[in-house]
Structure 1
Amino acid sequence: FLIDTSSGHIIGIDFGSAFNAATIHLPVPELIPIRLTRQLTQLMSPIGTAGLFRATMIHTMNALRENSNLLLSTMDVFIKEPLMEWMEHALKTSKQVAQNGISDLKLNSFLRSSNLKEARRQMEKVVGGDQIDSKRAQILLKYNSNRYHKLTVDEQIDCIIDQATDVDILGRSWADLETFM
């Protein structure tokens, strides 16, 4: 997070674990959807997450759902052109070609396209309020397994906040949790 010391505004930044990388590359997969530790919820006192924070998340999720194609197009650029890792990737690729030939380049191309498909699938689940992956939502909403139910924006935000503040999930993640990021 970045904190503007003149206004107190908080900006969440986690580019190192963007696009589901935190669930794939870390030794213990990231289980927390957003950083919402006690330190942050205490800043929201006395209303907590139920006030302006929740309303802002609902407004943002509505905007994401309405403009999901724009967001997916933007993600496509980041996945196809990962500027932060370009130099590292170029160095690794040149070493692979020197050692193993061109077949590894085809594998890298396949992996990059599969990353794009996975990111698109994950984004569509988030934007669509997909409930199938959320066991907590199934329990809280008494999910009927005979019928597919998409979460409303309010329900989805409540599940995200609940999961982000769940002490059991925070406890399981503690080994690799870096809440200061």
Structure 2
Amino acid sequence: MRALAILLALAVAPWVWPVEPAVVARAFDMAAGPYGPGHRGIDLEAAPGSAVVAPDDGTVRFAGPVAGRPVVSIEHAGGLVSSFEPVEPAVARGDAVRRGERIGTLLPGHVPGATRLHVGARLAGQYVDPLPLLGVERPVLLPMRGGKRTLARGCARARGCAQARGWAVRYASARRSSETCV
């Protein structure tokens, strides 16, 4: 029930993007098991030195190195925890942060040859996809053949920003699907 209350609250006031402009470079990919391969968050492309902001009000749970990378984690209402790396912290453990407040600076190094912010989210110890928390709906796969819900018709009515639609196309391509939109 607590998880449902959190998700309903987020539906009214989704998180703010931790970097602007927000371009999703890699999507969430849930692992089959606790130690299996996957991507337990999303990667956002951004310029080195970009300000990273808190997506919502909370308390800094951790700010420091993890496996040699600087990480900031924030605990939000209901036990939802967000994490960001590689971020040079501008906050310390126990600090209260407000939605949109600067928590650090994006550093290079998460992905070779690119500067990306890894954004993770956990609820009750389980990783969850951060995109819905940011107000982006999951992609809707459309049929390959014509009909009422083809790509052209479906995307004309799609909600969300153009960037999100671009992400959905890359998401579908990675999964060998021919058409998608958000």
Task: Give TM-score, length-normalised by structure 2.
Answer: 0.23
RCO higher in structure (CA 8 A, sep ≥6): 1
TM-score by length of 1: 0.23
More helix by share: 1
* Structure of greater Rg: 1
